[in-house]
Structure 1
Amino acid sequence: MTDVTTLTALKTLARKLALPMAGFVLMAIPGAFAEERPVIMTTKATADEIREFCTNIADAARDQRYLLQKQELENLQKDIDARIKTLETRRAEYEDWLNRRNNFLKTAEAGLVEIYRKMKPDAAAAQLAEINPEIASAIVMKLPPRQSSTILAEMPADKAALLTRLIAIAGDPNTSKAKDPS
């Protein structure tokens, strides 16, 4: 026999012996049968009545389920609306910051170009050769052509060639931003 079969057989035997033993024990206790408790019937419904009951409440249950889902969706929509509002606020702050930054850069750029415009070509060439080539080429492009050519002539040949290449690429409408000029 397997363990499950043995366990089932033992349970069956215990049930068969429990009722006679319980009756014997109850007879020995005085007043054991003095009070009878009423038997509570849970239902006398048939399977058809149960099916009919379930069918009758199905619409109400479905409506309740839809109501709960609707409330959950409304709560999710409120959460999404709050997040969108937060994002819009942050976007407006970022746009304000970006506008202030761009205005500052335009002012600084105009001042920087004016500084190089007033410098002697040999001094300007030495400084432009040391800074970022993209910034240097942007400054050279904004200077008058005669002054730009003098500054480029004063620079080391490799630096001047790099700046010239950057200026040429910047003016080419077919150039992608992804191309590396160096």
Structure 2
Amino acid sequence: MTARLTIIRSRRFAAIIGLALVAGSGFAAPASSEEKAADEPQAVNDQVHSATSAEASPEQKAYESEIEAYCANIADAARDQRYLRQKNELDNLKSKVDERIALLEQRRDEYQKWLGKRDDFMRVAEATLVDIYKNMRPDAAASQLSLINPGVAAAIVMKLNARLSSQILNEMEPEKAAALAGIIANAAATEQPKDPS
């Protein structure tokens, strides 16, 4: 089969070379330069086409049909291999995504534990802080609460009993006491007013 293919290829190559030499040697009758330029490519093209079509022997046709049959036979196997490779790539990507998800879940659990510890600490600190202000004299508590963040001061005043809270607010400067009372009132409101803008 390979010897036949070699012979066919060498014949075709020889025909093309021969035609190129004939076209380029100038054996034809002299013509004007414009006619030469226009006719040469067309003549060479026609000669090559006729030579190749004449060479299409039954052996060549059989060989080409064998090539087509081979390509048709391996098309399904090639498609299966391509699908298998794509499936393997998808499985690999899925495993990487699963690893990342597991890592993110582990970090989320760590953050939730840390947040739980922080919340426990804040509850203890808040209870201790409220106890400290509960045991202070109202005038001392008022001066201390005037110096800290108004939101924190309002939260502390809300945790104290009503009698002690009123005494502390009474000892504060009127502007600061009014600001704390406003924060407490807003926190106690069940419905927040809508923004008019």
TM-score (norm 2): 0.66
Distance in 2, matches of 1:173 and 1:65, equals 64
2:171 pairs, out of 154, 157, 160, with 154
Answer yes or no: is 1:89 the counterpart of 2:106: yes
Structure 1 residue 161: Cα displacement: 1.1
What's the counterpart of residue 49 of structure 1?
Answer: 66
After superposition, the C-alpha distances for 1:33-89 in whole angstroms (9 at most, x for unaligned) are: xxxxxxxxxx95533322221111110001000100010011001101110110111
> 5 Å matches for 1:102-113?
102-113=119-130
1:135 maps onto 2:155 in alignment: no
Following TM superposition, where does structure 1 have runs of at least 4 consecutive aligned residues deviating by more than 6 angstroms?
none
Structure 1: gaps (5+ residues): 1-11, 17-42
Match of 2:25 in 1: none
- Using structure 1 for the length normalisation, give the TM-score: 0.71
Alignment-derived partner of residue 171 in structure 1: 188
Q: Distance in 1 between matches of 2:180 and 2:66?
A: 93
SS in 2 for 1:46: helix
The residue number in structure 1 matching 2:161 is: 144
Measure the CA separation in 2 of the matches of 1:149 and 1:100.
Answer: 34
CA distance in 1, matches of 2:147, 2:124: 23
Matches of 2:63 and 2:85, distance apart in 1: 32
Gapped runs of 5+ residues in structure 2? 1-16, 22-58
For residues 127 and 81 of structure 1, the distance between their equivalents in structure 2, rounded to whole angstroms, comes to 53
| Whole-Å separation in 2 of the counterparts to 1:55 and 1:167 | 82
Structure ranking higher in helix proportion: 2
- Give the RMSD, CA atoms, in angstroms: 2.1
Alignment of 1:25-36 (within 5 A): none
Report the identity percentage: 54
Count of aligned pairs between the two proteins: 139
